Amino acid sequence: MHTMSLQSYWFQQIKDGHKMYEGRVYDSKRRKIQINDYIVFTNEDNDEKIIKKVKELHIFSSFEEMLNHISLSLILPGILSVEEGISIYHNIPLYKENALIYGVVAIEFY
């Protein structure tokens, strides 16, 4: 069982069935995730939780590569361009730097 916290908007997108992938830096914590594992996503605003089963792991060298290969509507619902998506990830502290070191994973879930 793995845990990840999400901003309320992204949590709700998973809960509503719109967001089918979670993009993260492929660091040591994410490298432990295996297909058929479970992830507990926690809403940062109210501690609500939802559990999803990992369907597939898609590894990329950058957020740009990830967003060019996976439909924006499934990984970042409501975002209209790859550039806007990259900006969202790069605004998270250390994500830009760590993505260069570790790469990126798009976690596909049921």
Q: What is the mean pLDDT of residues 15-35?
A: 98
Measured between alpha carbons, how far is 104 from 95 in angstroms, rounded to an integer? 10
Nearest to 17 by CA among 45, 61, 63, 50: 50
Question: What is the dihedral sign for C-alpha 50, 33, 19, 97?
Answer: positive
Owning domain of residue 59: 2-109
Q: What is the CATH number of the domain that holds 81?
A: 2.30.130.30
Give 34-69 pLDDT, tens digit per residue. 999 999 999 999 999 999 999 999 999 999 999 999
CA 71 to chain centre: 13
Structurally, the chain folds into a number of domains equal to 1
Query: Is the Cβ–Cβ distance between 70 and 33 less than 8 Å?
Result: no
Position 24 confidence tier, pLDDT thresholds 50, 70, 90: very high
Evaluate if pTM is beyond 0.85: yes
